[in-house]
Amino acid sequence: MSTDAVHPDVVVAGAGPVGMVTALLLDSAGITVELVERLTEGDPHSRATVLHPRTLEALTTIRYDDGRRLTDVLLAHGRTLPRTHFAALPQLLDYSGLDTPHPYILQITQATTERVLAALVEARGIRVHRGREVTGFEQDAEGVRVHIGETVVRAGHLVGADGAWSLVRERAGISFPGVAGTVKGYLGDVELDDPPPGPTHLWDHRTGWVTVLPLFDGIHRMFGVLPEDTGLTPEEVAARRSTPSPWRICAPS
Ligand SMILES: Cc1cc2nc3c(=O)[nH]c(=O)nc-3n(C[C@H](O)[C@H](O)[C@H](O)COP(=O)(O)OP(=O)(O)OC[C@H]3O[C@@H](n4cnc5c(N)ncnc54)[C@H](O)[C@@H]3O)c2cc1C
């Protein structure tokens, strides 16, 4: 076991969006920080496709050396929509009346957001231990000894940004009981032979619901839940179909 000679103020476990934003904010404040990321490279698959107004506001506080704001760089990589779906709500949410400089959502894939963040982390010279894993830690009066495989890094603080199954949170005794899943869903980012002309909801008591959203470069996101999980009676499905919607609502042939 070796002990790293560099003693950063903070080690952040996990270089997902939360870890990278945390590191950039700390670095902006003059605090030395290092990231530890299990994956050798960024995940090309996307989970999130949307940044909401409050996130866009918060990210304006992070700037490039030339004065550009992180939010403006992200805006240039996506498209803004003043009204859009949220989860499985039957109506679109309207952001246009919000008292914010960003009264819209930014449609951008998480993979793109992470690429932009990683480039800025690199440009700032923040050290990233890629392909390495936080395997444990001990806290004492001076700070924390972070185990990264066989290496021990001594730091003032350890931030657990290591995702839903966080080792840091579990070892720190911070509970996160959550709730059991109540629906069976599916999601795919796919190329379609015959894509619909725009965002589309499809409701049917035999097939469940599916939403089709155009993403970027000809890729569509399809997601929905299985029929037994819609919780709707055939009559309720029919009523939803007849509700006027700015989105295309169609029935299977
Ligand atoms: C289908 C889907 C759609 C979503 N849509 C949206 C959306 O539209 N908008 C939105 O805001 N959110 C959305 N989310 C949620 C969003 O994806 C998550 O909130 C986000 O990824 C959380 O970021 P994070 O950095 O906390 O964790 P993660 O992205 O999970 O990153 C954690 C990182 O830590 C690393 N790691 C784990 N353990 C260790 C360890 N011991 N040592 C070192 N590294 C470790 C992992 O490899 C990973 O890179 C969606 C999620 C899903 C699943």
Report CA(163)–ligand 1 centroid distance (Å): 5
The answer to whether the CB of 251 falls within 8 A of the CB of 242 is no
Containing structural domain, residue 222: 185-248
**Is 179 a member of any domain?**
no
Nearest atom of ligand 1 to the alpha carbon of 17: 25
Q: How far is CA 212 from CA 90, 140, 205, in A?
A: 14, 51, 17
Name which residue sits closest to atom 4 of ligand 1, judged by CA.
Answer: 48
Return per-residue pLDDT of the chain as tens, 253 residues: 666 666 999 999 999 999 999 999 999 999 999 999 999 998 888 899 999 999 999 999 999 999 999 999 999 999 999 988 777 676 778 999 999 999 999 999 999 999 999 999 999 999 999 999 999 999 999 999 999 999 999 999 999 999 999 999 999 999 988 888 888 888 999 999 999 888 887 777 667 778 888 899 899 999 888 877 777 777 877 777 676 655 555 544 3
**Is 177 a member of any domain?**
no
Nearest atom of ligand 1 to the alpha carbon of 19: 25
- Which two structure tokens, joined as six digits, stand for 245? 């919607």
Report CA(9)–ligand 1 centroid distance (Å): 24
Q: Per the confidence metrics, is the pTM higher than 0.85?
A: yes
Residue 9: φ, ψ to 5°: -65, -40
- CATH, residue 119: 3.50.50.60
Three-state DSSP state, 74: helix
Nearest atom of ligand 1 to the alpha carbon of 168: 41
Same domain, 31 and 54: yes
Same domain, 27 and 124: yes
